[in-house]
A and B are shown apart, each in its own frame.
Chain A
Amino acid sequence: MTVVVQTEKLSKYYGNVLGLSDVSVSIEPGVVGLLGPNGAGKSTFLKLITGQLKPSLGRILVFGQRVWNNPVIYHQIGYCPEVDTFFEDLTGWQFLTQMLRLHHFSPQAAAKQAEEMLDFLHLSQDKDRLIRSYSRGMRQRLKIAQAIAHDPRLIILDEPLNGLDPLGRRKVIRLIRQMGEAGKTVIVSSHVLPEIEAMTKRIILIHQGKVFAQGNIHYIRELIDTHPHIISIKCDRVRELAAALVKEKEVIKVFFTPDPHEVQLETRQRDVFFERLQQLILDLHLEVEAITSPDDNLQAVFDYLIGER
């Protein structure tokens, strides 16, 4: 697959303060979630990709070209900033058409495209109102609209779901997935981990200016061998199951939860254990209600990697 964004030992310093350190990633088409706590370096990374900042060290290529002072490349890049600022004296319609005109769209093409985009993001009714009178959600939708209206190949969204109501969030998440499926590259920065999980399984985890992990969530989880996997089993005879589990060499720990029908265990060899579990269930004639992995999710991966668990 073609690499859309490529960084090699990318670093950014603000004076003596480290913004980003030695980041080498390759981003291919599809949706990628950029995760990290406040001050991790996410915004710095996005600003480097969008050419708002110059690298202090290393390099960054987008579509095989450098970004800094390369205006032609912005035909293919759309950026939704985190800050909630606009040209407040304009209406939504005026703002969007003018942003499209800055992409060198003709007046007619800009009007047509703006009309479609505002309609898609449910802003048509308010398009002739001044932006200063818009609600938070409307402003956020307008920001997303100006990022995607010119049909770019690379879309960078910094906290795109801020201020959106649940319906709006679902719509935008669906839009992001559709863009990813259509072959575009979408990089989404967010703190809301369940929503990132709803969008994509590919993540880049940044913390303290460094990339802690990159790739599929499950793959990353597998790599975290300092934290054994937790598996939860709900069945009718938990104590009997627990007694059998204790004898398995892949099982490190077995413990009970407040739920009388649930037992949890820890294992470092999840795949091997699941094969044994099938046999155990058959041997004991258990009626299993549910088997889940409570920590096979983004929150757990996030917490493990930044050391909060």
Chain B
Amino acid sequence: MTIRKKGYTHWEGELKESFLVWFPLTRLGIKLAFQRRFFRLFFFSSFLPALIFLAGIYISERLEDFRFMLKGSPPFLQITPNFFKIYLSSGLFLVLLVLMMIFVGSGLIADDLRFNALQLYFARPLRKIDYLVGKIATLSFFILLLSLVPGLLFILFKLLFAGNLVFLRTYPWLPLAVIGYSLLLTLFFAGYALALSALSRNSRYVSLMIFGIYIASDIVFGIFYQNFHHPYLALLSIKLNLQQVAAAIFGQKPFYQVPWELSLAILLGLMVGAYFILQRRIRSVEVVK
């Protein structure tokens, strides 16, 4: 047996390629987010709407017992695809996602740019796509926890409380709709937050941009709509575009008479724009003139 001296030795094992090269980035991003005490409080509070909706599902199965509370309001407690659409695309839920992006996403790339960490990342066997996938996966973890998981749990609990599969037989496409819309939310918000994070080295500024652009799009829509009353102005608002697509996916009538395909095109366009920004900004070497 060779006697090894203390110190550096070559690795004599086999270097294997891994398909999860990006996973350490994701794990680190999630770990760093949960290290902040205030974020933990915010994160667990953001499940409150889901709990309220879950209570609604319970009450809907026990209507007789709660009839004294429900004078004139049975339509609300009918668990239909509209119930899921309301949860996943309400103004409050979307703002929660935006706030989540501020907490978790504002510094994801901005801090790497600020501390010149990209050179360290790309000095390792990590491609640009792996880096991006790692960052997207970090944000996806949180968005899906808030959207997909409660959505599927609502279906599950509805079936459990009902004690039969009638609900699923009536709406067999609903799980796919929940998955599809959750994925859309994930890709859109992840791309949106990461693109803005890649545009600056200052995460405070990025936080403001993430929130400001989202809110401003809605306010500008409101101002123009009140003057022009044209439904196509809804395409100006990020929130309304998401709600239009949600209505289409969950088989509901959209609030504004605008083809939902246009809203989807706008969202996809923004995602493509985000992709190009990320491609341009994420480089291992920065050229400063």
Contacts and interface: CB of A to CB of B under 8 A. Distances in A.
- A and B: direct contact (Cβ < 8 Å)? yes
Interface of A: 130, 132-133
B16 interface: no
B288 interface: yes
Q: Chain B: interface residue count, which band?
A: under 10
Nearest to B288: A133
Contacts of B288: 130, 132-133
Q: Is the interface of A mostly helix, strand, loop or mixed?
A: helix
Nearest to A132: B288
A138 B72 CA distance: 75
A132 B114 CA distance: 12
A130 B287 CA distance: 13
Contacts of A133: 288-289
Interface string B246-289: 00000000000000000000000000000000000000000011
A126 to B, nearest CB: 13
4 smallest beta-carbon distances between A and B, as pairs = A133-B288, A132-B288, A133-B289, A130-B288
B219 to A, nearest CB: 30
Nearest to B114: A85
4 contacts: A130-B288, A132-B288, A133-B288, A133-B289
Q: Is the interface of B mostly helix, strand, loop or mixed?
A: loop
Contacts of B289: 133
A95 to B, nearest CB: 16
Nearest to B287: A133
A266 to B, nearest CB: 27
Nearest to A85: B114
A130 B289 CA distance: 8
A133 B289 CA distance: 6
A130 B288 CA distance: 9
A178 B288 CA distance: 36
A135 to B, nearest CB: 10
A54 to B, nearest CB: 25
Contacts of A130: 288
A194 B277 CA distance: 48
A130 B286 CA distance: 15
Nearest to A130: B288
A133 B288 CA distance: 5
B114 to A, nearest CB: 10
B205 to A, nearest CB: 13
A90 to B, nearest CB: 14
B200 to A, nearest CB: 12
Interface in B173-222: none
A133 B287 CA distance: 9
A162 to B, nearest CB: 15
Nearest to A131: B288
Nearest to B289: A133
